[in-house]
Amino acid sequence: MKGLMQDWPLLVPKIIDHSAQYYGDREVVTRSIEGPIHRTNYAQIHSRARKVAKALTKHGIRLGDRVGTLAWNTWRHLEAWYGIVGIGAIYHTINPRLFPDQIAYIANHAEDRVIFVDMTFVPILEKIADQLKTVERFVILTDAAHMPKTALKNAVAYEDFIGAVDDDFAWSTFDENTACGLCYTSGTTGNPKGVLYSHRSNVLHALAGNCADAIGLKNVDTILPVVPMFHANAWSIAFAAPMVGAKIVNPGMKLDGPSIYELLETEKVTISAAVPTVWLMLLQHMESNNLKLSTLKRVTIGGSACPQSMIETFEYKYGVEVMHAWGMTEQNPIGTMAMMKAGMENLSREDRVKVKLKQGRPIFTVEMKIVDDAGKELPRDGKAFARLMVRGPAIASGYMKGEGGKDLDTGDVATLDPHGFMQITDRAKDVIKSGGEWISSIDIENMAVGHPAVAEAAVIGIAHPKWDERPLLICILKKDAKTTREDVLKYLDGKIAKWWMPDDVVFVDEIPHTATGKIQKTALREQFKSYKLPSAAA
């Protein structure tokens, strides 16, 4: 027998309809690319998104077509997303930090017909314009007054593009499993692979993300998503915030400590989301200028492991709750969040921080297990670590134009504990294999950045004649700070297992990062491939 509930497909445009209807005057504030702070609201976004939809329809864009966006977090980018999906077309977010050839590859692979692009990224596209086989038109996200001179094909200022139509437009209707968004993984090997979110997965994920034990946005919140819309579906915030009418504060292109601090304070932000590198810049700025946070209550930190010192500084120095999260492009993207559980109320400060250092419990809709190389499930005892497999309605079943599988192999190595908390120990390909055992590079990195002189740390395995591989710790020092190899090793002593102690420490000026801000271990391994550990020479 079928249930007798109405068939109300989970379509993303319904989110912006809802916010315009009930929270129409709630603000969306942006540090614009042109410079000044720009203010709009959900009613305006709704109206202008319908203009985007109408203008795209006029251009011939139809259900299933891909429309690229190469843009910072701004109100125009948000309008473009809703306008694109309102006609059943697919927003394809392009990460500007990719190499130009990779951008050309993914735009061609996605078969983008139109690209919405910020003024700042026009030069990138101009360089690869003759490689872009399918793009018919470029919409520059600005007005006529700021329109750059460009040779890009059929280039038009966004304000002119949508200004040519009115907002009398009804969203298209289609099945909720229709593709909605496309985001390519930043794969360090091989070509990037396209992850295709559906309307259903986006709506379900925004609902799950809005549970109180997840990001849990409320109407009274003001959220500053530093996490860019071009990476991992912006952690779903572009859907979760309008769903409840939370005020959004878009940082535009300025993600440095002083600019973020200024927005947090002037716009009275209550919650924010970013990768650890961004928080590091903010904390350094606040510490060197003796600043406080007057409204910020919670920060979501993910994308890379959140170091212990960051949790302690936010929580105990500034009174801001840390929500450590793990996710990936292939998952819409949130998988787990490290929120306290019933029974943990009386934990000591030290034990509470230990819980927060874990990546957390799965949000509803995410199932997970760890399996060995033979595919056998390993116990949830907090000790066994193995490949993390995930399953759920907002998790990729395959890649665009590629193959799929039943469970998604995250490529991460993790433990699962009896309380349901998952902890990442490494990327499978970064694990250090020493004497038949695995050493977690992430754990050592986490501890090393707690050293007062260390700004950033990376650990890689170096070939060793006896142990196969041994860890090498590579550090960047904080500005004007000084320390020695011996001092760093002494600091780590007692904090990690003896046999995990790095065999050597080196100091460098720069650690390479991927387009999504993660430490690029492949490049580090290449850089240190001839490095001889002192222990290997002995």
We find the least distance from the C-beta atom of residue 494 to ligand AMP, in angstroms, to be 24
Give the relative orientation of helices 13-23 and 75-85 as an angle to the nearest 10 degrees.
130
328 lies in the site for ligand AMP, by CB under 6 A: yes
483 lies in the site for ligand AMP, by CB under 6 A: no
Single out the residue of 305, 313, 304, 307 nearest to residue 282, CA to CA.
313
User: Mask of contacts with ligand AMP, 490-519, x by CB under 6 A?
Assistant: --------------------------x---
Q: Which is nearer to ligand AMP, 44 or 332 (CB)?
A: 332
Of 121-180, binders to ligand AMP (CB under 6 A) are none
446 lies in the site for ligand AMP, by CB under 6 A: no
**C-alpha gyration radius of the chain:** 23
> Which residue type is seen at 356?
K
Other beta carbons within 10 Å of 328: 21
186 lies in the site for ligand AMP, by CB under 6 A: yes
Sheet holding 408-416, edge to edge: 367-371, 386-391, 408-416, 422-427
Of 390-419, binders to ligand AMP (CB under 6 A) are 410-412
Q: Which of 248, 386, 424, 488 binds ligand AMP (CB under 6 A)?
A: 424
Catalytic residue status for 268 = no
Q: Which is nearer to ligand AMP, 187 or 319 (CB)?
A: 187
CA distances from 261 to 217, 226, 268, 418 (A): 21, 11, 11, 39
**Contact residues for 29 (Cβ-Cβ < 8 A; gap 6+):** 37, 38, 39, 247, 248, 249, 250, 267
In contact, 46 and 17? CB cutoff 8 Å: yes
We find the least distance from the C-beta atom of residue 59 to ligand AMP, in angstroms, to be 31
In contact, 201 and 176? CB cutoff 8 Å: no
Q: Which of 103, 229, 232, 449 binds ligand AMP (CB under 6 A)?
A: 232
Single out the residue of 195, 217, 419, 177 nearest to residue 328, CA to CA.
195
Q: Which of 268, 433, 490, 529 is catalytic?
A: 433
Sign of CA dihedral 397, 360, 213, 328: negative
In a 3-state reduction of DSSP, which class is residue 373? coil
Furthest C-alpha separation in the chain = 77
106 lies in the site for ligand AMP, by CB under 6 A: no
Q: Which is nearer to ligand AMP, 10 or 183 (CB)?
A: 183
Tokens matching residue 375:
């595919």
224 lies in the site for ligand AMP, by CB under 6 A: no
* 175 vs 200: CA distance, rounded Å: 9
Tokens matching residue 241:
């915030």
Q: Which is nearer to ligand AMP, 178 or 359 (CB)?
A: 359
We find the least distance from the C-beta atom of residue 186 to ligand AMP, in angstroms, to be 5
Q: Helix, strand, coil proportions of the chain in percent (round to 5)?
A: 35, 25, 40
Q: Which of 185, 300, 410, 516 is catalytic?
A: 185
Which residue stretch of 6-14, 30-38, 326-334, 482-490 sits at the interface with ligand AMP (rule: CB under 6 A)?
326-334
Single out the residue of 335, 385, 387 nearest to residue 359, CA to CA.
335
427 lies in the site for ligand AMP, by CB under 6 A: yes
Does residue 192 have a cis peptide bond before it, meaning omega lies within 30 degrees of 0? Answer: no
Q: Which of 79, 159, 267, 330 is catalytic?
A: 330
How many helices (H) and strands (E) the chain has is answered by 16, 25
User: Mask of contacts with ligand AMP, 333-362, x by CB under 6 A?
Assistant: x-------------------------x---
Q: Which of 34, 188, 369, 438 is catalytic?
A: 438
Element (H, E) at 202: helix 199-209
* 512 vs 41: CA distance, rounded Å: 39
181 lies in the site for ligand AMP, by CB under 6 A: no
Q: Which is nearer to ligand AMP, 40 or 516 (CB)?
A: 516
Of 247-306, binders to ligand AMP (CB under 6 A) are 302-305
Q: Which is nearer to ligand AMP, 156 or 306 (CB)?
A: 306
* 511 vs 530: CA distance, rounded Å: 17
We find the least distance from the C-beta atom of residue 168 to ligand AMP, in angstroms, to be 39
We find the least distance from the C-beta atom of residue 180 to ligand AMP, in angstroms, to be 18
We find the least distance from the C-beta atom of residue 360 to ligand AMP, in angstroms, to be 8
326 lies in the site for ligand AMP, by CB under 6 A: yes
185 lies in the site for ligand AMP, by CB under 6 A: yes
We find the least distance from the C-beta atom of residue 205 to ligand AMP, in angstroms, to be 14
We find the least distance from the C-beta atom of residue 199 to ligand AMP, in angstroms, to be 21
425 lies in the site for ligand AMP, by CB under 6 A: no
Catalytic residue status for 330 = yes
We find the least distance from the C-beta atom of residue 399 to ligand AMP, in angstroms, to be 12
Interface residues with ligand AMP (CB under 6 A) are: 185-186, 232, 302-305, 324-329, 333, 359, 410-412, 424, 427, 516
- Residues with active-site annotation: 185, 330, 433, 438
